[in-house]
Structure 1
């Protein structure tokens, strides 16, 4: 992806200052959520646990040098026996805990103290090779298998990964260097990946420098992702923040992300493989998100969307020095659909694009895709948005013979940068309407007569995940 180098240079100091301020604010928010009472540390979770243990009970050493892979896995294996008896939580106390990949268990909480740092090993032997996802047919970095993620789980029920804003550091520079040199035999590990599971919570953590994507729930439902700070260098490859993939009923809120790729990328499989699996991402709410991603999108829909994406609701989003606001990425061969998308109350500062839809995002897993498998893109709604210092208001390009339809944009004010020499709007193969949009959109998005369009749609009902309550749970201070 490309972005205006002048923009990146002129705003690097502003980004750094903003990052510092927002980082402090995030820490204070997390601290305010954590109350200490009678030597107990309280936290919010979908379920509390009857049993507790600390990593040091299983030989863990927080010196930043000793491998704790066996300690983590031994602890989790031991605690798994308590799943029928109220579940268990594993406490990671203050220290630097070097580890390779480990697998989670059901009815389980992994709790990181605020001064705990899980350090991902850079030893490739600490990451077993697993098969590609069925809906992708291959690894994202190349054909064949992939390294298992640092924190991994499959076929789980009721799992919480949380803490007092403790840190999980992927130490990704090793993997980024090998990626750039094309020395990888398999696809890089993710930081957290959960497959075929339900009732998952990932909250109140700092995640940094993943080898690739930071958080990847896939084929999973009933997910709460909340209060995450995610950071990676803006030039690091494919370090997406949060990627819900073929997931149902997901809530992402109150997150701050600085990334080398999309802050949130909504996915559901790749070409013929995603079409065959046929699991959409649906019932997704994203709110109170702040994103900095100079070369990518704040929210991307696709490009791997061949199981379908529908009923996505995003609101109260802040974008700073990012390439695009909401981007739709698809192509012939993807099939499926992106539909029923609703975005409102989005504020953007220093962007290349506000709106970007592309029907020519042509990466394919192999030559087996069907070029006649055309995606349906329809009922895309944007309202109540403000942007300043923008290069291009909209770059909207559907597919010839397969236009993107039902686009609605209302009450949107876009300030074009004084340095921009581009047309504010570029449109082809799209259909839709606008109301109270500045600058004037292209002719394919006509301005309805005053009063005929009160505003684009945004659902008034709640998704099931929005009404899931969190309980007040606790960790005994003796563990720290």
Structure 2
């Protein structure tokens, strides 16, 4: 039987099974050879024994035909190989329109160069899901949450990667609805993986998410690297990466243009986050470049009620951004932000270099405890060079709950043509400084020649060695 005939039969069979709801095809019964322009290799936490193309399940990459059922069927079908070496689903060049779909364990979604996963703008393609238990409600409002474009829960060993393929959230329609207050539910995120471990998202371009781009939550052992993330700088809440109640996370070699914080480290909201009690900890952010005129390069909070600790950032670059590192918290948040280490920031055209806010506000409801005060301590910044800066430091704690243990060393800040007359505004904080220009406020005591701490040991995620995986010109495609 000819290859094209076998392909047509396979596609027809899958379509029929979809119609009757019996997606249990043993794809090992129908194989075909697919020629590649060249062998493809990529790095991943694990390689896969089985491979399939989206077109094997009837996908159409014309940018108009919905592939939601196709993605869902493909993932469900390939899940049968989770305990037999895993499976990878290849998205070939084309524009693949789809609504929300979930991934499975021991699985790779590989988006080839020239391929675009195009998010549907139809609300009905995003089923409502429950509010996160550490938030108590949707982030945009008291209603529910639209499911993310790509999601999954309670998974192990999940890779989303490619040859710099694209995921386009087509967020403009959602932004318009948000601004005009036409939404009662929280907008979809582009990628959200929950209660999962061994996650890799890499070598992709992500554009125009309806809201947050990448949101790992209640998860561990997360690698996010070699990503380009872009949204208009006036788009609402388009955070780049939001690790949320996660442990052992690496964010590396990422370029972000955003309408909100480029990286926002979170762990739940007020009384809900306090009750859930899952911190974000053991994180490294390395070689991040950010453009965000109205938000932070790295934000710690404001939803930090499960705690944030043991976060490192090194070799950070910002261009035309509001602030370098910003701590955002308030009475009612509780928990802590401690053991934060930053080494090496190059900042160009900034409103603030250092910004700490103890009165951020924004509570999920009136049930929060205003006596639940956060503990902010052991915050270390060193080796910072900045130019065209409006204000060096705007650092405020909470009256009766000062933020302690700041250390700032080896910092040179060049000012803009019209800088603030007061370069350091400090209230309810304490700490030390060394070799900082312009001279810090008196609450950051000059200690002469002191170098702030930065750990020399590796974070656990840095010990993970990626494997070399392949899609070869002679691959058997299931």
Shared fold per TM-score greater than 0.5: yes
User: For the Cα contact (< 8 Å) 1:313–1:343, is it kept in 2?
Assistant: yes
What is the root-mean-square deviation of aligned Cα atoms in Å?
Answer: 1.3
The superposition leaves residues 270-295 of structure 1 with CA deviations (integer Å, 9 ceiling, x where unpaired) of 00000000000000000000000000
Residue matched to 1:46: 45
| Mapped pair 1:311 → 2:327 | no
Name structure 2 gaps, 5 residues minimum.
1-34
User: How far apart in 2 are the matches of 1:223 and 1:466?
Assistant: 11
User: How far apart in 2 are the matches of 1:410 and 1:422?
Assistant: 22
| Mapped pair 1:69 → 2:68 | yes
Match of 2:431, SS?
Answer: strand
Residue matched to 2:460: 464
Larger Cα-atom Rg: 2
The superposition leaves residues 374-413 of structure 1 with CA deviations (integer Å, 9 ceiling, x where unpaired) of 0000000000000000000000000001000000000000
Match of 1:56, SS?
Answer: helix
Residue matched to 1:203: 202
User: How far apart in 2 are the matches of 1:263 and 1:168?
Assistant: 18
User: How far apart in 1 are the matches of 2:321 and 2:107?
Assistant: 37
How far is 1:418 from its partner? Answer: 1.9
Task: Mark the CA change 1:226 to 1:369 in structure 2 (over 3 Å): closer, same or farther.
Answer: same
Match of 1:283, SS?
Answer: strand
| Mapped pair 1:321 → 2:317 | no
User: How far apart in 2 are the matches of 1:271 and 1:459?
Assistant: 30
Residue matched to 1:167: 166
User: For the Cα contact (< 8 Å) 2:44–2:469, is it kept in 1?
Assistant: yes
How far is 1:476 from its partner? Answer: 3.0
Residue matched to 1:3: none
User: For the Cα contact (< 8 Å) 1:391–1:422, is it kept in 2?
Assistant: no
How far is 1:421 from its partner? Answer: 3.5
Residue matched to 2:299: 300
Residue matched to 1:119: 118
Match of 1:114, SS?
Answer: coil
Residue matched to 2:254: 255
Match of 2:177, SS?
Answer: helix
User: How far apart in 2 are the matches of 1:144 and 1:342?
Assistant: 37
Task: Mark the CA change 1:478 to 1:94 in structure 2 (over 3 Å): closer, same or farther.
Answer: farther
User: How far apart in 2 are the matches of 1:298 and 1:181?
Assistant: 28
User: For the Cα contact (< 8 Å) 2:53–2:91, is it kept in 1?
Assistant: yes
- For residues 82-93 of structure 1, the aligned pairs below 5 Å read 82-93=81-92
Task: Mark the CA change 1:156 to 1:297 in structure 2 (over 3 Å): closer, same or farther.
Answer: same
Q: How many residues in Structure 1 have an aligned counterpart in Structure 2?
A: 442
Name structure 1 gaps, 5 residues minimum.
1-35
How far is 1:474 from its partner? Answer: 0.7
Match of 2:174, SS?
Answer: helix
User: For the Cα contact (< 8 Å) 2:129–2:146, is it kept in 1?
Assistant: yes
The superposition leaves residues 326-364 of structure 1 with CA deviations (integer Å, 9 ceiling, x where unpaired) of 000000000000000000110000000000000000110
Residue matched to 1:231: 230
Residue matched to 2:215: 216
User: How far apart in 1 are the matches of 2:48 and 2:118?
Assistant: 26
Among 469, 473, 480, the residue aligned to 2:469: 473
How far is 1:478 from its partner? Answer: 6.8
Match of 1:268, SS?
Answer: coil
- For residues 15-414 of structure 1, the aligned pairs below 5 Å read 39-414=38-413
How far is 1:38 from its partner? Answer: 9.4
User: How far apart in 1 are the matches of 2:473 and 2:89?
Assistant: 14
User: How far apart in 1 are the matches of 2:299 and 2:232?
Assistant: 19
User: How far apart in 1 are the matches of 2:225 and 2:277?
Assistant: 28
User: How far apart in 1 are the matches of 2:420 and 2:231?
Assistant: 31
Match of 1:269, SS?
Answer: coil
* TM-score (ref. length: structure 1): 0.91
Match of 2:347, SS?
Answer: strand
User: How far apart in 1 are the matches of 2:36 and 2:95?
Assistant: 26
Residue matched to 2:30: none
